[in-house]
Structure 1
Amino acid sequence: MTKPRITPRPTDDWTAEVDDAFAVLRAHAPGDQSGPPQRPKANILGIYAWHPGFVRGWMPFSDHLRHSTLPDRVREMAILRTTWLGYGEYEWAQHVWMSKAAGYLTENEIAALSEGPDAAEWSPADAAVVRAVDEMCTVKNVSDATWSELEAQFTREQLIDFTFTVGTYDMHCTAFTVLGLQLDEGLTGFPDDHRRAG
């Protein structure tokens, strides 16, 4: 989609209600938070800004996933594979940038996530993570064999967080496509050979 169906709300049009709704984002921000709130420019937050009630309901859960029990690297692997499979270009581009900037994943690992669980880059434990994402996104379940491999490396809390992370980003792929969410300036989208027809 080449234009948004809902355009981001300009930050100078945000109200005190919108600022208050986004307060959960500031809870983990570094530095002094006593001044006026900084309004993030991301296109998705601009869309959310039209609906403060949604923000108040959604952001605590979204913030939990961002700071969940999963190791950062595993979380980013799950998000990138999910959004690659679901053609979720916005979140894929955001998380490629974040993963590189934070050092969670290497260029080779990011490339391997576009290949899948059989990529030579993966250890058996990593391959199980990628395979679980593939199974969740294609058959909407995880095989007993793959689940056993996950249980060998994650706690119950981590298994729950993993499941909801994949499920949430799979939902993002649909929602953001429907809304016509456009990439933020400076981000690189999918390669030309990975675009859904139509």
Structure 2
Amino acid sequence: MTDTIDTTHPIEAADASEPTVPRVPPRPTDEWTDDVDEAFSVLRAHAPGGAPADGPVQRPKANILGIYAWHPDFIRGWMPFSNHLRKSTLSDRQREIAILRTTWLGYGEYEWAQHVWMSTASGALTEAEVAALSEGPDAAGWSPEDAVLVRSIDEMVTGDRLISEQTWAGIAAQLDRQQLIDFVFTIGTYDMHCIAFRNLGLELEDGMVGFPPGHRAPKDAS
């Protein structure tokens, strides 16, 4: 006997507002195990100056890493790829454009806040350019080359999620094949971050400046 679907009582759409508390809270650093510390060693090795030769391990307190800390095997699988994206063939400016526009469109507030600070502190982007990334490819001040980069991000993460042939020709004129691969995977990775961390309930840390009040996901705009 096969199951049948009851169409007389359709399932109603659930409230899609943002979680008000973390669904997976950061793991307190005093609860980290040696396994977690070892898994994070790849992250420390890529920090300025590399990993310390001896002495106690300094455990980062970032909320995002606190979520990872529940899953050492995930850390081991994820961090090498994440470190590649941080030091890929893209320039710092190209990478930050990709990350900021993607996280703006995907409502990834934590990554947006983190990379606004990182990109302006490092000089990769100006505050005016960050503001333009909240407007999109038609914002005043973009060069044609920058505008097509931003447009490609919009096309990849909205609508049919496919960069048009015309836009692809525009980014291929300024990026080589390795850069194109890194660019597309950077956009895709941070789009995934938006989905994952919104669902896990990743919260901003004290001092982080998030989205302006009016920028909320459509079903969370009330």
Shorter chain as normaliser: what TM range? over 0.9
| Alignment size in residue pairs | 198
Q: Which of 41, 50, 72 is residue 23 of structure 1 equivalent to?
A: 41
Partner SS for 1:19: helix
Partner SS for 2:48: coil
CA apart distance, 1:132: 0.4
1:90-169 map, 5 Å = 90-138=110-158, 139-169=160-190
- Structure 1 unaligned regions, length at least 5: none
Q: Which residue of 2 aligns with 1:177?
A: 198
CA distance in 1, matches of 2:56, 2:91: 33
Partner SS for 1:171: helix
CA distance in 1, matches of 2:169, 2:70: 43
Q: Quick one: percent identity of the two aligned structures?
A: 70
- Output the TM-score relative to the length of structure 2: 0.87
- Output the TM-score relative to the length of structure 1: 0.97
- Structure 2 unaligned regions, length at least 5: 1-18
Query: Does the 8 Å contact 2:39/2:73 carry over to 1?
Result: yes
CA apart distance, 1:95: 0.4
Report runs of 4+ in structure 1 exceeding 6 Å deviation: none
Partner SS for 1:168: helix
CA apart distance, 1:36: 2.4
Q: Which amino acid aligns with 1:192?
A: P
CA distance in 1, matches of 2:129, 2:178: 25
Q: Which amino acid aligns with 1:90?
A: Y
Q: Which residue of 1 aligns with 2:84?
A: 64
CA apart distance, 1:30: 2.2
CA apart distance, 1:37: 2.1
